[in-house]
Amino acid sequence: MSTYPNAVAPAAVTAPAGPACAEPLPVLGRDVTVPLVTGGEVTYAALDYAASAPALQRVWDDVAAYAPYYGSVHRGAGYLSQLSTDLFEQSRATVAGFLGCRPADQVVFTRSTTDSLNLLAAVLPAGCQVFVFETEHHASLLPWGDAQVTYLNAPRTPAQAVETLERALAGRTVTIGGGHGPALVCVTGASNVTGELWPVKELAAAAHAHGARIVLDAAQLAPHHPVSVQELDVDWVAFSGHKLYAPFGSGVLAGRADWLQEAEPYLAGGGASRKVARREDGGVDVEWHTTAARHEAGSPNVIGVYSIASACRALDEAGFENLVARERHLIAKVREGLAQVPQVRVLSLFGDDAPRVGVISFVVDGWNSSHFASALSAEYGIGVRDGLFCAHPLVRTLLGSEPQAQGECGAPEAAPGERSLNAIRVSFGAGTPDEHVDRFVRAVKELVTDGAKWQYRTEEGRCVPAV
């Protein structure tokens, strides 16, 4: 801790939170206007929160208030360095509180959810088996390197997810010293494709009953619902700041310290090392930190970390009960609107009644998804996502072998022997006004009924307005 224990950046703890009511929270970009190919301008409707949510105005104001006081963290004796170190470590405590961490848990700051899960993959003990559903985002599907990985088939109900995991864990064959070796289950909290909530607490209980640990990918859950490590009984949780209304490229891995402390540092360098000395034989002896600093080598992204903490405070102060209620209202608007268009098919694993966050993917009969998304942007000023959403196995499972209509321009080329498959994703959250989802629903109906007003062409695999 610093020698200035009461030092805080101006406005860091006094900036007003967003309104704890049915109104959207103020976000950056809410008044940005964009041109339409048909003429004129319109306020941009950012409906791609699942990729990157806009920064909360509260977060931006906190960062702006701190920026003049920026200094090196854990490195300097000067006032600004000490103040920055204080804010960095206070941010760690804020995130631990936001996640409901256990007293002995560590909060490690990373670059993103992907980086967090790659860090965890790097510290797995020898012989660790990893169990992951094929429905995961690539961030949690791919990092496990040389570990023995069991990929589980997509379940069609939450109960089936638990049963599938229990069978897989019960059938483990790798043993160490006469018993089962270490095992890790990786599961999402909310799908980045369907928005559906997964039975995390039940999956954690199943994992622990079979001597396995579990990490929760909360990238899509934490911005929409409260996440408590203790209540869910998960061993680790990972999330990204840029999905939590905080810019600047920081992430979090929080949870049990033992595997982190026992492994070699994720990155070797300054900050991770406690003591370095030359040996007589010319080599170097290193004593590594046992705290979170062990895996935070290099100069940390203090502004990114501080922005995450600011977002955590803002969401807590706004109240998740209010945020969840408002999001359910928006989800109902979108789903009811899409249900009125017979040509639209919403993608789902668990069915229409499954609880979900504000992430909805769909396809439209007679349209290539790239063409449809481009028309939403160019003719209505609406930003959505099209493609496979970095969850290729899941989207392919949900789409099956349905061909996509080519329309005026097609999707990127498929792999040899595959059909061209992609979908459209609309996603929203705490900063989304009703007008944006109303405009989206209206635009879908108009495009399906009347077609696009503009001509489009394919450019580098994407559908763009023809000029």
At position 357, the amino acid (one-letter code) is V
Task: Return d(Cα 184, Cα 212) in angstroms, integer.
Answer: 5
**Sequence-ordered strand ranges (E) for 220-308:** 236-240, 251-255, 273-278, 284-288
Non-local CB neighbours of 406 within 8 Å, separated by 6+ positions:
368
Q: Which residues of 75-97 are buried (b: 16+ CB within 10 A; e: fewer)?
A: eeeeeebbbbbbbbbbbbebbbe
Task: Return d(Cα 158, Cα 205) in angstroms, integer.
Answer: 14
Task: Return d(Cα 1, Cα 86) in angstroms, integer.
Answer: 6
Burial class (CB in 10 A: 0-12, 13-18, 19+), 46: buried
Q: Return the closest-CA partner of residue 332 out of 310, 309, 306, 358.
A: 358
Q: Return the closest-CA partner of residue 196 out of 169, 225, 228.
A: 225
Task: Return d(Cα 135, Cα 153) in angstroms, integer.
Answer: 8
Tokens 């964009």 belong to: 34
Q: Are strands 382-383 and 385-387 parallel, antiparallel or unpaired?
A: unpaired
> Could you say which of 101, 186, 312, 390 is catalytic?
390
Non-local CB neighbours of 320 within 8 Å, separated by 6+ positions:
225, 226
Whether 390 sits among the annotated catalytic residues: the reply is yes
How far CA 181 is from CA of 126, 163, 266, 378, in Å, comes to: 9, 21, 22, 54
Q: What is the largest CA-CA distance in the chain?
A: 80
Tokens 């909310």 belong to: 190
Assign 152 to helix, strand or coil.
strand
Q: Return the closest-CA partner of residue 318 out of 26, 1, 44, 6.
A: 26
Q: Return the closest-CA partner of residue 128 out of 176, 163, 164, 168.
A: 176
- Token digits of residue 90: 């206070």
What count of residues does the chain have?
Answer: 467
- Give strand pairing partners of 48: 427
> ∠165-221-308 over CA atoms, to 5°?
130
Q: Is residue 254 a contact partner of residue 106, using CB atoms and an 8 Å limit? A: yes
Which residues carry out catalysis?
390
